[in-house]
Structure 1
Amino acid sequence: MSPGGADIVRVGMVSPVGLSAEVTAAAVQAGIARFQAGSILDRRFNPLVMALVATPDLPPLIPEVDAVLGLTSRQMRMLRLAGPALQECLDGLPPTPLPLLLAGPEPFPAGRPAPIGPVFLEHLARQSGRALALAHSRVFPAGRAGVFLALAAALEGLAARRYPRVVVGGVDTLLDLYLLGTLDLEERLRADGVFDGAIPGEGAAFLLLTRPGAGDGAGGGALARMEGVGVAEELGHRYAKDTPYKGDGLDAAFRAVFAAAPGDPVRAVYAGFNGENFFAKEWGVAFLRHRKRFVEDHTMDHPADCVGDAGAGLGAMMVGLAAMAVAEGQRAPRCLVWGSSDLAARGAALLSKPQER
């Protein structure tokens, strides 16, 4: 469960279909996808189809960050993705340092360290030109569902009045040769003869959250009200060795978010599908167990159809897209956003119009 609620007042985003939140939202609403075969070959020597931001469209690393020793190519690309998205989210606001709760990639494949940690936040602050309150900032290396862990922490911090505003975000890229090779060997990537697979993607999204009714500090109002967040773990996740998969994790996340924010039934869903049947089955289990919480003709959006599997960036993008759609009247409140990671993390959030609670 999550205490209180929060207003989403700003969104910043970089995705394969747009270099801003507004352009990305318009592209996803129109069903535009950017899937292209590139120079990376799969194990059958066929070009991998990916959803990537054109490299020339990304700002280069600033010299101070570029000179840092030990940054991997994946970390450097994530900094280039996250920098402009964070800038967009905070554009025009006073330079007061804000805490950042950032979802990042999982430590996968097994045995590898998490791709980003606290030092990444220092590099991101330099790359974006925005000072961060690093003492109150944190990284959640939990993949697609990581943003829901970050949102739960943000709601708790706002309720405890540790800060008046907080930035929550997610960033990831699957453009990593070792990672792609592992997923290819496991036949998890869409390819000739592999239909139960994902299109590797990337992206970054950031949300500015405040206490309900507080505004963004620069005269702007709220896009949407985040009523509550539910998080849980799936013990029988994809890589669990001894525990059977039952779909209990997403079911528990739904149960937690509906307990935190009881109210009208859900009319719109943003689903964390990535192209693999595994997560569709999980949604089916959770939906059937909570069917009374949904109107019969609820809408369903799955942005991975446009941006590919953007990993830890996908969850943050979905929440941002849902908030903008609710604000524009394109999707009816209440709106449920959910995501599932490759490992145990599962999460869901409920959004409504700001004046509704």
Structure 2
Amino acid sequence: MGSAQQRDATLQMDVFRDLLNDAAFLWTQREQRLTAPDETPGDVAEGPEERLLAHLDALVLGGAPVAEELLLPALAGDEAETVICAALALLGQEGDAGLEAVLGALAGESEVAGRGAARALSLSHRADIGPRLVGLLGQAGPALQEVILDVLSFRRQDPGLSLDAFLSRGTPGVQRASLRAARSFPWRVDVRGVERALASQEPAVRLAALETGLVLGLRAAWPACLETVKARDSGWERAAMLLALGGEPHELSLLLNALREPSLKAEALQALGYSGRVEVIDTLLEMMTDEELAPLAGEAFCAITGLVLEGRFVLPPEEPSSEDDSPVADVQVRPKAEEVARWWEDARHRFEPQRRYLLGRPYGWEVLRQVLAEGPMSRRPVLALELAIRSRGSHQLDTQDWVSRQMGELLAVQGLPTSQATMPFRLLPAPVSLKAPPTVPPVEPAFRPVYRKRPPPAGALAITGLGMVSSLGYGVVGSCAVARTGMTRPGGLDDFRVMDPETREAFPATGHVVPHLTRGFNGLGRMVRLGMAALDDLRHHAGLEAGPRTGLFLNLSSGYFLAEAERRALAQDEPDESGEPPPTPEPLRADVLREKYSQVLLPRLRGVVPGGWAHEELFFEDSPGLVSALRAARRSLQERRVERCIVGCIDSRVDPEVLAALGELGVLKVPGLPVGLMPGEGAAFFLVESSEVARRRGAPVQAFVDEMALTTEPFDLLSPQPKLGVALTSAIEEVLGQLEDGGRETGLVLGDLNGTEARAHDWGCTLVRLRQGALHGAADWYPSLGFGDVGAATGAFSVCMAARGFARGYAPSPNVLVWLWGEGGSRGALYVRAPEGR
């Protein structure tokens, strides 16, 4: 059947369809927010962009089945956002097939597919895109040449040939593209051609030449800018903005005079906001009394002074007319002119005449960098152009790029001459050199694998293989990728119905079931199906062939809920008054199941792995039992009884018997009980070796596990004692206390919260108890949000999630704490570290 990845994709195609649809929606959200006045780069990066990249990564990991059945048809569709997402996912897959398909769409007849392919090629980090596009450039028609030049410019990848022919003999579109390319590759153009383009009969070509000329420091560019503003013809708005950014104080009169022209006053106000000049403030205050232009005047005022228009400074909002397509239509905030003027009278003394200000701060490189990194998205395109001009092209920020890559570019904005940040454009020094740099930096991926700079501590366990099955996927790759997107797939559980207290109607309880795999199986059969699927995924993931030097260490449910429900049922039975001695009590169902697991489950699992294993141990300790299993595995490795260990966990809380017990005990999330748990099921295994052995044989390490702790509370979940985090705190502090940094570098916590009030209260008390604010600022992930409460499998799920987060680059830290909570009172913690840097 091929790899586990292919089986996962084939069986879960409905999940991938949802992922593509959601990705298209998130793309639209991201594009809208790239120019939003009330969004910042952080808002976009941590909002729609992060979620979009997660969806795209999941589609990439779907492999060939998803590409063939879903992505290739979508690439030929007519919905632009879906085309772009399909193209990005195809480019992210290994091999040449995806790139060939996207290049075919780029050169094809569909305009929608061509635009989507171009956008995806610009954003992709594939290193082979540049050479392929350069190869197409010479033989392409004008329309395709324009697109290729723009993609190469976006990617900062040298076209490898002169731009002069494109500039002198190309169509207007090709000329514009070659001028834009000249900003990134000035060594590929004769600047005399750029100067001739300043006098082109095509307004769009003249404007492109004007911006390129300013970036390259051509003497003729600034006079051309002034002439365009004075002529008040096509391109006036852009030239006016450039004058505001880099003109001398006396040249601002050209913009102030334009306020008298009805057709220019809106654009003039927008430009004045970029001037940063205190001397235009009184004019802006005057324009705030104009009902039509007040929003633009207020925005320009705030761009200079840093005032935030809210509270007493704004009038009640008005609904914009649907027919109004003027620049003012998108601006919703109307300033209250008299209050703004009163504020300015108090603040005026803080602003020096003849200086430029940006959001109330004196202009400079650091202020410009900070506003580009933290300021409103709507102002960034213009400020990015100013950065390119003032740095003479050494810092060209494309505000359409992934925000994470933009932040990397902004970090490099330092060490520039201070005066160069404020002087007029015409006085800026000429570029140091227009020659080609020695190397062109590669396009950076949005996410890089997470590594540790230091080797693991002595005695750390190396995880060299993963396997998993869940409600989100039939493999560890798909399960963790889909969980990362935030997608969940709960459904009705026909085996257990609950009563709505308001309608008095019965309906199925809700839970997370592994689709198809466990349908029709209950009890032991369900556990066998889950375990075999996860172990099979591990076998494919790690190329696993076991044998005489392999051990299995398996953790299962303690049967707490089954036992508690059965004990309560027995306690409610009527006492026997016949005088006969009471019958010998039957063993509890939970105890019977334990025996069956040894007799049936283990032999069935053994048949999945060629060669089986020579040593096996079972643990029935709920989620903290993972610590017991890992400790036993480490002990066996240290005593050299085995060379490697398969450690795993299996549980199903959607099994009918368990569901009935959960319902009877009142811990399910149902109408009337919103703080209950939502049950799930699954299994996860990983291959464990000593770090020394793994290094010696060159095994690909997914993660390391070192410090572990296991403690116990003297009461269980259903006891009336308050859960105050005593044992959990002890377990976490024991783990952190053994780390070389005391846990200070812990950046991610995977927690065993499941929706029940007792766990939440215990965890809250633990955070209060932890000494010196340990874990302060660490991100947190909760497996139950995506998979439901998977009981004993939670710890193994957490390890898999951390390891996949390292591999795909989205884990926020290489140092991860996992804490685990057992209903019987056990508490556990373990530390997971990223592999060593490569």
| TM-score class normalised by the smaller sequence | 0.7 to 0.9
Relative distance call for 1:239 and 1:206 in structure 2 (3 A) is same
CA distance in 1, matches of 2:639, 2:719: 36
CA distance in 1, matches of 2:695, 2:512: 32
1:53 matched to 2:531? The reply is no
State the secondary structure of the residue aligned to 2:754.
coil
1:205 matched to 2:684? The reply is yes
Question: 1:113 — aligned with what?
Answer: 590
1:305 matched to 2:785? The reply is yes
1:33 matched to 2:488? The reply is yes
Question: How many residue pairs are counted as aligned between the two chains?
Answer: 340
Per-residue Cα deviation, 1:232-285 (whole angstroms, up to 9, x for no partner): 1121221447x6643222122112222443424211011111111211122222
Among 653, 676, 679, the residue aligned to 1:174:
653
Relative distance call for 1:155 and 1:112 in structure 2 (3 A) is same
Partner amino acid, structure 1, of 2:553: L
Partner amino acid, structure 2, of 1:272: D
CA distance in 2, matches of 1:59, 1:88: 19
Question: 2:206 — aligned with what?
Answer: none
Relative distance call for 1:129 and 1:227 in structure 2 (3 A) is closer
Per-residue Cα deviation, 1:161-204 (whole angstroms, up to 9, x for no partner): 33221111000111332321221122211111110111111000
Task: Show the 5 A alignment for 1:220-259.
Answer: 220-240=699-719, 245-259=723-737
State the secondary structure of the residue aligned to 1:297.
coil
State the secondary structure of the residue aligned to 1:49.
strand
CA RMSD of aligned residues (A): 2.5
Question: 2:459 — aligned with what?
Answer: 4
Partner amino acid, structure 2, of 1:6: L
Relative distance call for 1:176 and 1:59 in structure 2 (3 A) is closer
Partner amino acid, structure 2, of 1:53: V
Gap regions ≥5 residues in structure 1: 61-71
State the secondary structure of the residue aligned to 1:16.
coil
Gap regions ≥5 residues in structure 2: 1-456, 500-505, 564-587
Which has the larger Rg? Answer: 2
Per-residue Cα deviation, 1:196-239 (whole angstroms, up to 9, x for no partner): 11111100000111111433998531011112111111212214
Relative distance call for 1:129 and 1:182 in structure 2 (3 A) is same
Question: 1:271 — aligned with what?
Answer: 751
Per residue, is there more strand in 1 or in 2? 1
Task: Show the 5 A alignment for 1:109-188.
Answer: 109-110=562-563, 111-114=588-591, 115-116=593-594, 117-119=597-599, 120-126=601-607, 128-134=608-614, 136-188=615-667
Among 525, 534, 538, the residue aligned to 1:85:
534
Most deviating of 199-208 and 270-279: 270-279
Q: Is the 8 A contact 1:224 1:353 kept in 2?
A: yes
C-alpha deviation, 1:46, in angstroms: 2.0
CA distance in 2, matches of 1:3, 1:163: 19
Question: 1:65 — aligned with what?
Answer: none
Task: Show the 5 A alignment for 1:280-299.
Answer: 280-292=760-772, 294-299=774-779
C-alpha deviation, 1:295, in angstroms: 4.8
Per residue, is there more helix in 1 or in 2? 2
CA distance in 1, matches of 2:714, 2:740: 26
Partner amino acid, structure 1, of 2:780: M
C-alpha deviation, 1:58, in angstroms: 5.6
Partner amino acid, structure 2, of 1:112: R
TM-score, reference length from structure 2: 0.39
CA distance in 2, matches of 1:107, 1:295: 32
Per-residue Cα deviation, 1:272-331 (whole angstroms, up to 9, x for no partner): 111112111222222222253645321100011111011111221111111221233322
C-alpha deviation, 1:59, in angstroms: 10
Runs of 4+ in 1 over 4 A off after TM superposition: 216-219
Per-residue Cα deviation, 1:78-113 (whole angstroms, up to 9, x for no partner): 111111211221332334242111110112232433
CA distance in 1, matches of 2:633, 2:736: 18
CA distance in 1, matches of 2:656, 2:834: 42
C-alpha deviation, 1:11, in angstroms: 0.6
Q: Is the 8 A contact 2:716 2:824 kept in 1?
A: yes
Relative distance call for 1:130 and 1:194 in structure 2 (3 A) is farther
